[in-house]
Amino acid sequence: MVLQKILKVNLKKVNKMNKILLLSGALLLSSCFDGGDAQAQDVALGKSVFEKNCVTCHGKEAAGTVKNWKKTLPNGKYPAPPLNGSAHAWHHSPKLLLSTLNEGGAKFGGWMPPFKNQLSAKEKQAVLDYLHSLWPADIQQKYDARFK
C-alpha cells in the first residue's frame, strides 16, 4: 500500500483511530501540494495572457516601458505604469484591479482598452495572480495583509 511505503508504517499494527488520523494527515498534506500546483498553473496562465495582451504597453515582466510613468506623454495621456511592484498597482484592491482590467484605463487618463469581453474571468484572475507573483516579498506581504 502506498501509504505504508510513504509513512513506513505497518497498518496491521495500528489501531483504527490512529489509521484515521494517519489517513487524515496524508490527505491534508496532499491537498497542500495540489494547491501549490494550481497556483503555479494560474501564474503560468496569467503570464501567457499578459504576454499576449499587456506586454506591449506594460513592458516585459510588467516593468514598464518608460522611465517616468507619472509624466504625461506628448499626446496628453499617461503611459502604462509598471505593474511589477515598483509603481502603485499593489496599493489597489483586487476589486479595483479587476475593474481596471474590465473597463480599461480611460478613467485614469490612460488608454488601456477594456478587456471585459476579451478575457475570461479565469484569465483575468490569472493575470492578477501573475502580477502578484512579480512583486517583491515585502510588497506581497503588505498587499496580502491589507486585502486578503
pLDDT tens digits for range 51-107:
999 999 999 999 999 999 999 999 999 999 999 999 999 999 999 999 999 999 988
In a domain, 28, yes or no: no
In a domain, 22, yes or no: no
Q: What is the CATH number of the domain that holds 98?
A: 1.10.760.10
Domain with 78 in it: 37-147
In a domain, 128, yes or no: yes
Q: What's the Cα-to-Cα distance from 143 to each of 5, 94, 112, 139, rounded to whole Å?
A: 41, 10, 23, 6
Quote the pTM value: 0.74
Neighbours of 130 (CB within 10 A): 23
The three-state secondary structure class of 14 is coil
In a domain, 72, yes or no: yes
In a domain, 60, yes or no: yes
The CA radius of gyration of the chain, in Å to the nearest whole number, is 22
pLDDT in tens, 93-107: 999 999 999 999 988
Domain count within the chain: 1
Map grid coordinates 496532499 to a residue: 30
